[in-house]
Amino acid sequence: MILNIFTDGGSRGNPGPAAVGIVIKNAANKTLHSFGQTIDVATNNIAEYQAVVIALQWLRQQPVKPGKINFFLDSTLVVNQLNGVWRLKDARLRQKVILIRQLEAGFPVSITYTVIPRAQNFAADLQVNLALDRRL
């Protein structure tokens, strides 16, 4: 099974109250699961990374294991850093990448990260905003 995972993270204030949004679809573009949750005070970049972390943690708890995992984010920074195109200078972001690599090791499948236009990540962004609105 191929999973397409759309993630987003955001904060109101940057740093400020933050949340993540995750939408998981199958290869036929059917939404299998979607959710948003708050993550304390964070920057937008930390929230974007935390969305990937939470998605991988959620997947690890599921009984069905995917054959391939495709992540789609609207953060060029996160995608390019996870793909090794850009260097990691911020120690906090480096810690997130280390955690993501550890989580990835639990999946013996191909995992890709692709940047998409913000408009194509609407459902994940909506989950972020719903979570933040519930918090306030």
The arithmetic mean of pLDDT across residues 83-105, rounded, is 97
Domains of the chain by range and CATH?
2-135 (3.30.420.10)
- The radius of gyration of the chain from alpha carbons, rounded to an integer in Å, stands at 14
Count CB atoms within 10 A of the CB of residue 25.
19
The predicted model gives 35-45 an average pLDDT of: 97
Q: Residue 83 in 3-state DSSP?
A: coil
Structure tokens at 21: 């949004």
- Predicted confidence at residue 125, as pLDDT, reads 99
Give residue 136's pLDDT. Answer: 66
User: What letter represents residue 26's amino acid?
Assistant: N
